[in-house]
Amino acid sequence: MPVYQTFIVEIFACVDVLVGFLVNIFIMGIYLRYWWASKKLKPYDKILANLGLSRVLLLFCLFLRIIIRIFNWTAYPSPTQRCIFRTVQLLFEYASLWFAMWLCLLYFVKISILKNNFLLWVKLRIPKLIPPIIIITYVASFIFAFIFAFFIKETADVMDNVNLPANESVYEELNYMIPSYFFGHVLPFIFVTISTSLLIHTIALHIIHIRSNITGFTRPRFDAHLSVIRSAVLLELMTICNLLATFIFRFDFYGHFDTNVSFLFLVSYPLLHSLVIIAGNAKLRGVLLRVWGCVKAKIATERCPKKQKRETKRETVWQQK
């Protein structure tokens, strides 16, 4: 790929990362504000706050890596620093994917009318289960991130462009790459797919039940139901694309694919996924609309004096004539 095209890709990636950084700071900041005001958060909000935190830190790592790639700096002065940085980056990458998975599972359990005893038990104990879930997510993510960063000596993580030699070292390193990839990406994808499918199935059955029990001349509105289905499908499609993009970037050792496309999606995924979450969350969407309204009002207020000055100047000139 020509140098100028690679540079353009890096610039687009940098913009995606910076915008994603701001969006996820917004998510994290809103819930920190709620926590500061009431000293407590709902279970769903705790997961969202940790999702925002993990993505903010992940995007910070990605931004540093993009800057290193643009200016061609030495990324790892020593093997120890290399291992630490890659462990931190993968820790927050895996944690963000798992928190996104927990959101899907919790939302399904929250809105479903459950008859299964185990799921009913989980639903009743969600507030007590959230703290252990958060701790286990970070600890397990750290373990598998460390395995990848410590044992993979030559191959790429999300950002390195180093191809493996065609020898037995490929298969040796696959012994560590595959478990790490399975835990960090495949397992969350499986649970997201299952919970999304069950969620859509539950909502569809609910719509059918309502339609079959309509009495009178009023027609029920299903806007909220269809909005949830659209959000669930969008999140599922983005999860699939992220899984495939990561697979290409991690396991295309010999350059069969152009990794720039997968690289762009990898750095865009935290932004796009968080935007869909904001659009589907009434609390976040309401705050964002209020902020946008304040910004528009501020801009309009600043423009009014300038407009008045121009009109006054025109009147003065007209009077002088």
Q: How far apart are CA 93 and CA 287, in angstroms?
A: 27
pLDDT at 95 (0 to 100):
94
DSSP codes, 131-144: HHHHHHHHHHHHHH
Write down the pLDDT at residue 100: 93
Q: What domains are defined for the chain? A: 3-210+223-280 (1.20.1070.10)
Round the average pLDDT of the chain to a whole number and report it: 80
Confidence at 163, pLDDT banded by 50, 70, 90: very low
Tens digit of each residue's pLDDT (9 = 90 or more) over 37-74: 887 888 888 999 999 999 999 999 889 888 887 777 76
Residue closest to 258 by CA, chosen among 161, 183, 133: 161
* CB-CB neighbours of 42 under 10 Å: 15
pLDDT digits (tens, 9 = 90+) for 261-301: 778 888 889 999 999 999 888 888 888 888 888 877 777 77
Instruction: Enter the pTM of the model.
Output: 0.84
User: How large is the average pLDDT for residues 79-92?
Assistant: 86
